[in-house]
Amino acid sequence: NRSGKFATPGLKGILAAASSDQKPDATNALSIVSPPKKYPLAYPISTYTYVIVPTQSSKAPELRKFLFWAVTKGQKFGPKLLFQPIPKPVLVVAEKAITKIHA
């Protein structure tokens, strides 16, 4: 990784990368690939899993409800599958994106 350490793929390395101070760009995209040097445990090729959904749908209420569950209560299922729960700053970005889905 950028700090010269051989970080391992796993929950610890992914959490270190996800905890880095990456900010969303103008399109709301976030990247944790190759985080700054100050995160020596960060696995450098960690990434988020994205979903592509329409912003307009006749099933908008159901879609928003499911996506909100996925980024909140659904996160508890991640570690067993080697997915690290998303950090709070990412949750804020996700919630803003979910509110843009309408009928």
Neighbours of 93 (CB within 10 A): 17
Tens of pLDDT, residue by residue, the chain (103 residues): 999 999 988 889 988 998 887 777 777 778 889 999 999 999 999 988 888 999 999 999 999 999 999 999 999 999 898 888 888 888 988 999 999 999 9
Could you give the CA distance from residue 64 to residue 76 in angstroms, rounded to a whole number? 19
